[in-house]
Amino acid sequence: MRETSDEPDRLPSAPHPRETLALVGHAARERIFLEALTSGRMHHAWLLGGPEGIGKASFAYRAARFLLAGGDPQARAARSADLAMPEADPAVRRVMAQSHPDLHVLRRIPKQDGKGYTSNIPVDAVRRVIDRFGASAAEGGWRVCIVDSAEDMDRPAANALLKLLEEPPPRALFLIVAHAPGRMLPTIRSRCRLMTFEPLAEADVAQAGRLALERMGMPFDGSALAQAARLSEGSVRRALTYVDPQTLALVEAVRARLDALPQIDLSALIALAEDVAGKAGERDFTVMIETVQGWISDHLHAHAAGGPGRLAPLAEVWEKLRAAAREAETYNLDRRPLVMTLFHDLSSAVSRSRAA
């Protein structure tokens, strides 16, 4: 298994989005952003919506680097085909080093006791950004705030951000990463321009995964990466996780249990629960949750024409799973009962869905 990340929004042993200079599969979205900047009618807040791990945060940092680099960004946009900036640019280097004074990032932070991360973006962090946006830009140009992600904001944090979105200062840009934009406060959504990101094609996932692994100087097996891309559901993040042989084996084992539903092999389920228990199983637990979520998503899309009665049982388990997984992380709960309950809930949901 890969080592634990020292940042809540970094995939272990992979480049952070602020360090990812290449962006695969989203050229059309880059052109939309460049056109808005060139026109002089840049919206102050963009909601970057779509499934997790497909490049939304990488796009946000890429746009931030483009705006914060020296010179006139509007003139640069008029002559640019994409948002790429050279790694040698001083602003690019400072963004990568988290030292640019005009880039503010809202994300979960380490707990005071050093054990894990906060379950939400603290409202105090949002208020600090508000204070900084109340002063002049350190370098006299644009200021950028990246929220990664909207799902990590609780109601107080979201309301605090809303106040800033309602009265933004000049040349301020907010890039809000949202894995499920529909769950955001309607008042925030209404003040943003939505840019929807779609899951990547399998070939694009493989290419982006290769670039990421090469950037990290990590050896990899091309066939393993191709298999990971096939199972990734369009997510580079997921493919980079699955390229590890042990992780790939776990994904295939979980999917086998899921595909057998509503039947449950109790001994195999108990073994799976033991595998993801304890400190050593933290990463495997996350992989299991992502695999289950992907499987549920596939079924919801496949049976979308079946009506609410067909979809509701699995949708209910989806919501319950999200809450239970976050609670297990926050309070360091025993994950074995959660796994057992999850699969029994899924078994019931599959039965009810088929009967509808």
Q: Could you tell me the CATH number of the domain that includes residue 138?
A: 3.40.50.300
Query: Where does the pLDDT of residue 111 fall: very low under 50, low under 70, confident under 90, or very high at 90 and above?
Result: confident
In a domain, 231, yes or no: no
Q: What is the residue-averaged pLDDT of the chain?
A: 93
Q: Please, are residues 40 and 47 in contact by the beta-carbon 8 Å criterion?
A: no
pLDDT beyond 50 at 91: yes
pLDDT beyond 80 at 39: yes
Phi, psi for 194 (deg, rounded to 5) = -80, 130
pLDDT beyond 90 at 89: yes
pLDDT at 356: 81
DSSP sequence for 238-272 = HHHHHTSHHHHHHHHHHHHHHHTTT---HHHHHHH
| CA end-to-end distance (rounded Å), the chain | 41
255 and 178 share a domain?
Answer: no
125 and 250 share a domain?
Answer: no
Question: 3-class DSSP state for residue 47?
Answer: strand
Return the higher-pLDDT residue of 319 and 83: 83
> What are 151-161's pLDDT values in tens digits?
999 999 999 99
pLDDT at 110: 87
* 115: Cα within 13 Å, side-chain hemisphere: 6
Query: How many whole angstroms separate alpha carbon 273 and alpha carbon 259?
Result: 17
Q: Please, are residues 202 and 54 in contact by the beta-carbon 8 Å criterion?
A: no
Query: Where does the pLDDT of residue 104 fall: very low under 50, low under 70, confident under 90, or very high at 90 and above?
Result: very high
pLDDT at 2: 39
pLDDT at 73: 97
> What are 179-210's pLDDT values in tens digits?
989 889 999 999 999 999 999 999 999 999 99
172 and 263 share a domain?
Answer: no
144 and 67 share a domain?
Answer: yes
Proportion of the chain above pLDDT 90, given as a percent:
77
DSSP sequence for 165-212 = HHSPPTTEEEEEEES-GGGS-HHHHTTSEEEE-PPPPHHHHHHHHHHH
In a domain, 212, yes or no: no
46 and 147 share a domain?
Answer: yes
Last residue in a domain, options 176, 196, 216: 196
Query: Where does the pLDDT of residue 4 fall: very low under 50, low under 70, confident under 90, or very high at 90 and above?
Result: very low
Last residue in a domain, options 196, 218, 234: 196
182 and 254 share a domain?
Answer: no
Which amino acid does the sequence have at 271? A
Maximum Cα–Cα distance for the chain, whole Å? 64
Last residue in a domain, options 196, 214, 234: 196
In a domain, 211, yes or no: no
pTM of the model: 0.88
pLDDT at 5: 58
Query: Where does the pLDDT of residue 260 fall: very low under 50, low under 70, confident under 90, or very high at 90 and above?
Result: very high
46 and 180 share a domain?
Answer: yes
Average pLDDT score over residue span 7-36: 94
Q: 114: alpha, beta or left, given left = phi > 0 and alpha = psi -120 to 50?
A: left
In a domain, 222, yes or no: no
pLDDT beyond 80 at 95: yes
Residue among 47, 323, 64 nearest 187 (CA) = 47
290 and 187 share a domain?
Answer: no
pLDDT beyond 90 at 283: no
192 and 55 share a domain?
Answer: yes
pLDDT at 1: 33
In a domain, 321, yes or no: yes
Residue among 186, 208, 169, 259 nearest 56 (CA) = 208
* 44: Cα within 13 Å, side-chain hemisphere: 16
pLDDT beyond 80 at 90: yes
Q: Which of 112-121, 124-133, 139-148 is predicted with the least confidence, judged by mean pLDDT?
A: 112-121
In a domain, 213, yes or no: no
CB atoms closer than 10 angstroms to residue 355: 9
Both tokens assigned to 98 = 């988290």
> What are 231-242's pLDDT values in tens digits?
998 999 999 999
Q: Please, are residues 354 and 304 in contact by the beta-carbon 8 Å criterion?
A: no
150 and 22 share a domain?
Answer: yes
Proportion of the chain above pLDDT 70, given as a percent:
98
Both tokens assigned to 236 = 């580079």
Enclosing domain of residue 145:
17-196
In a domain, 27, yes or no: yes
Query: Where does the pLDDT of residue 144 fall: very low under 50, low under 70, confident under 90, or very high at 90 and above?
Result: very high
99 and 189 share a domain?
Answer: yes
Query: How many whole angstroms separate alpha carbon 239 and alpha carbon 236?
Result: 5
Average pLDDT score over residue span 327-354: 92
Dihedral Cα 238, 243, 247, 253, nearest 10 deg = 90
Q: Please state the domain count of the chain.
A: 2
In a domain, 173, yes or no: yes
